[in-house]
Structures are given as structure tokens and as C-alpha cells.
Chain A
Amino acid sequence: MDLGKDKMLEMYRMMTRIRLFEAQVRDLATANEIPGFVHVSIGEEASATGVCAALRATDRITSTHRGHGHLIAKGGRLDRMMAEIFGKRTGYCKGKGGSMHIVDFSLGILGANGIVGGGIPLATGSALAAVIAQRDEVTACFFGDGASNEGTFHESLNLAAVWKLPVIYVCENNGFGEFTPMRTVTSVTDIAVRAQAYGIPGVIIDGNDVLEVYRCASEAIARTRAGEGPTLIECKTYRWEGHVVGEQAFLGKASYRSETEVAEWRARCPLIRFEKFAAESGKINAAELKQIREETGAELEAAVKFARESPLPDPAEVTEDVYSG
């Protein structure tokens, strides 16, 4: 697949937006400027970006508690996301959702989710809706290695396989669920092999290589768009940061992974990897990448300012939006 230069730059911009946004959110949460639980996906930018780059604007995604990256990659605005994380009225959910629950239906973002595995049946149903309404729409479902042990994962894959639904399942395998190493609670080393049990293709890819993710997602999306059913894509990746910002306060001296392991994965940074590739390709020069970083920095600064200056919701809004109509 020969990628155009524009597509490549777009993917780099997305990864940069995710990286800078999450680093900022992490710092704001550490400084107690943001309430609630905050989970960041730094180090995992390529899977969100590569998959969403292969989707159309009319396609949909479901996300997880670690969802900022997916949402940004699907077109989420940094200012309204940041405002939501600050609990402001100008946020995507008027302050009712927060970091774990950002939604923008107009962009096909059916939502981050506080329930592990909670989004998997929703993605399946979103694909069912495309079949019922006879619309050419695909849904991409993001979830973690831990979520693949939930019943919802298994029930959904079977259902989508039987009905040949237009959905792709994207497992971001970062090796841990909270502080528990995946291998101690998961019957297989590769989540992708679980596809076999449901008679659908399962592929393992390097989740830190945005181009590989893009290629693989494009194929799976084309296949499911053509009515051939779902694919399970396993992106091998790693989260550089803690499970939740501030986890050291609970953990104290206890640790659940080695410094060496973290360092090894930091060396496999998806952004640096792309920068190298760009340099080698001869199509993109360093100045273009630098410009993207600078533009993103400015976009982010504006987003934080917007969030800080936005009003909090009025307490009277608490009873709004429980029911429609």
C-alpha cells in the first residue's frame, strides 16, 4: 500500500495530538486540577491513529476507560475534550461524563466507557444498526487485553461472526490489566488466537507501528464492509504511564513491572519510529514534522485556556438529560 504524503502527515499529527494532550492531562491531574480517575495511553498512540485513519467520517468507534487517544484519532476536538475533563459546561458531555465518558455522536464516537468490556457489545450493536438501516457504515471496537477475558467479548465475537456484522475488534494488548500481568490471568499469550474459536480471522500486529496498523485495519475494514464479517486485530503495545494517574499513592513502594521493561518499550516509541520512517522515505522532511508539533502545541495551549476559562455547569443542570423528550 503506497500511502500518500498527506495521509502520512495526518497520522503524525494525530499521534502528536494524542501524545501532547495526554501528557498535559496527566500533568493537570497530578497537580489536582482535574477531578476523578484519569487513564492515559501514552505509548499506545499508533493503534488508535492507524485504525481511525482507515475509517470514514461516517464510520463509528467504541472506546474504553483509556479512551482519549481513540477519541482524538476519530476527530475529537481537544478544547471540548479538555473542557469535559475539567468538568466544564462547554465540555462534550456538559461536565456530566468526565475523562472516562467522552462521547461525540456527530463524529461517530459512541463513547469512552468506565466498564471494562462494556463497549464491545455496543460496537456490535452499532454494526447491527448499519445492517438494519442498510447503511454503509463500519464500527471499530477498541478494548484491552484485560477486557478480552470478559464474557461480553466472547459473546460479541460470536454474534458478529454469525451475523457477519460490519465491525472490527481491535485489542490493544499492553500486557496488563490494572496491576495484574496479563499472562497470569489469560489462557493464551496472543489474544488474536481467540478469533479461531469464533471462525473469524485473527491477526497479530506491532501496535506501535502506525503504518502497519493502518494497513491491517484497512484490509479488515474493506473485508467487513464487503459483508464478509468481523476481524480481530491484536495490537501489541505498552502503556508507559501508570494504569491510573496517581497510582503511586495507592501502591506505595509496591511495583508490578520492571524499570527495564518500561525502558525497552519507551525505546519503541511510535512517534519516533514514524519520524525515522519519514526521514528514510525522503517524502517528508524534518521541518514539516516540527511544524506539526508546534501547531499541535498551540492547539493544546488554546484547549487548556478554553477549559480553564469555561464556566462550570449550573447545579440546576443536574436533573437535565436523564430522559429524552
Chain B
Amino acid sequence: MQEAFSELAKKIKAGEFVYTGELEPHNLSTEIGDVVDWAKTLKSIGRITAANVTDNPQSFSAMSSLAASFIIQRDSGLEMVYQLRTADKNRLALASDILAAAAFGLKNILALTGDHTHMGNTPDAKPVFDLDSAQLVDLIHHMVYEGTDLSGNEVQGPRPEINIGVAGNPNQEPLEIEVLKMERKAEVGADFIQTQVVFDVDIALTYLESIEHIGIPTFIGIFPPRSYGQAEFFDKFVSGVTVPPEFLKTFKEFKAISDKAERKKKIDEFNIDYFVNFVKEIRKKKNCAGCHIMAVGYPDVIAPIIEGAEK
């Protein structure tokens, strides 16, 4: 990491084990109030340093993640990781968003390619992909450190102060593809990696080992499921993510519990136990900077997981 501008980057640099969360503006909605509330909840936990704001996930249009990041950061006081995907904007529009992010006081951008536009709710939209995620890293890095865009045009005024994150994919087969990709992204200036959801701790550990030589601080993504359905969804429908069979089996057993409160208690207990151990394992790796907890709408387990892992 060249320079630490954000709280997140500063903590990583200081060697602290960092937790990040995730916030998702609703599809095609002008409402952001409950997302701000959720950010406040994350902040009240005390140990969450920043939260990502998704950019048109699965290519369903939602409020601009730039505007949402600004509003949520302003109203909740929690630092945002502004997710920006190249699927919808060319390099010109991306540069203007980076300038705006700087003016809005956003300090982290997660540079993404994004799902194909055809997969969402506007299948006939023109897919842009003028840049890919590595080239977006290159663009941000140029603006921050060289004070130019990729055509060599100079940035006027103070340079943006932004740390650059990239997405990692521990489930890539063969893993060598992912390692070479991360080497590329490191070359153009990525500061940190946040991975896709991982359920199997061995996959997370193998991943961390395989990219250790690159030296980029890495956050492993976790998603404690609230139900068997959610766990099964990840296993079946989320590209590349597999859920260990025993994990699924346990959740299937919970599904059979008829008493709702009892079922929730069991699921919470299991999640806390499972993910405390998970986090304890991954944090042993030197390049593991933290854990990215994507438990949207499931705050009950976040604090206990962090508490348990910090013991």
C-alpha cells in the first residue's frame, strides 16, 4: 500500500485486524433511510471500520452507489467503501465519479467489473465495459498518484485521496488464474482485496497462502445465513460459491425445528460458533487483513462473531 488515506487503510497499515460490512441500496428505490439505519447499527457494534455500498448488484438498477455512499457516510458517520463497476460507465464517466467521490470525502473505492448487464432487470441495456476492473484500478491510481486520467489529462485542484480495493475470488478453478490476476491488479496499484463469500475455511486458507507473495492485505468475505434456504441459495445459485455439505446438512436439520424462536436460536448459535472459529483460523495468516461480513439484515450475529474472534 503506497499511502493510507482512509480509516480502513490506516488500520490495515497499523496491522489491526479489521472488520467491514456491506450495505445494499434497494432495487429501483429512492428510499435510503433504512440503509442508513443499518449503517448506524453496524457502527454501534464498534468494531466495524467501514461498509461497502453495492453498485447495481446483479445488474439490477439501484440508487447510484456514489450518492448512496455519500449520504450513508454523512448520516451514519461510518466510513464507506464505494463500489464502482465498469459495466455501466465508460472511462469518462468513471473519472467524473472518482472526482465526485473525492469531493464527497469518500476514501475507498472497490473497483469492480460487475455482472453482465444482460443478467439484471434491463437485459436490453447496452453493456459498457469500456474498462475492466484492473484498468479501473489503473485509472484511480493515476488520478491519485500521478494527478492525471488515463489519457494524460491533468486533474485540477487537490488530487483525490482514495484507497483502492479489488475483488478476489478464492473459488476460481484453477487457482493459478486468480493468482496471476491478482499479480496484475497489484501491479496497477490495488491496496486491498475483498473476497467473494467463502464458507469453507480451507478454501480461504489456501487462497491466502497462494497470494501471500503478492503482499496485498486481504479481507475474506463471509455470509452467515439466516436459514437453510439462504445457505442453499449460495450453494446452488451464486457463481463459484460452494457450501460444505456438513454445513448444509446442519441447516437442513434446523429447518425441521418447528418452533420459530428455537430455530432462530439454534441457527444464531451455530453461525456464531462456526464463524468465530473461521475468523480465528484465517487471522493467523499474515496477509489476512480482516473479515468482510456480508450479513445484510442479520445484525444479531455480527457482534458476537467479532467478540468471539477477538477473545
A interacts with B: no
- Listed in ascending order, the chain A residues whose CB lies under 8 Å from chain B are none
- Listed in ascending order, the chain B residues whose CB lies under 8 Å from chain A are none
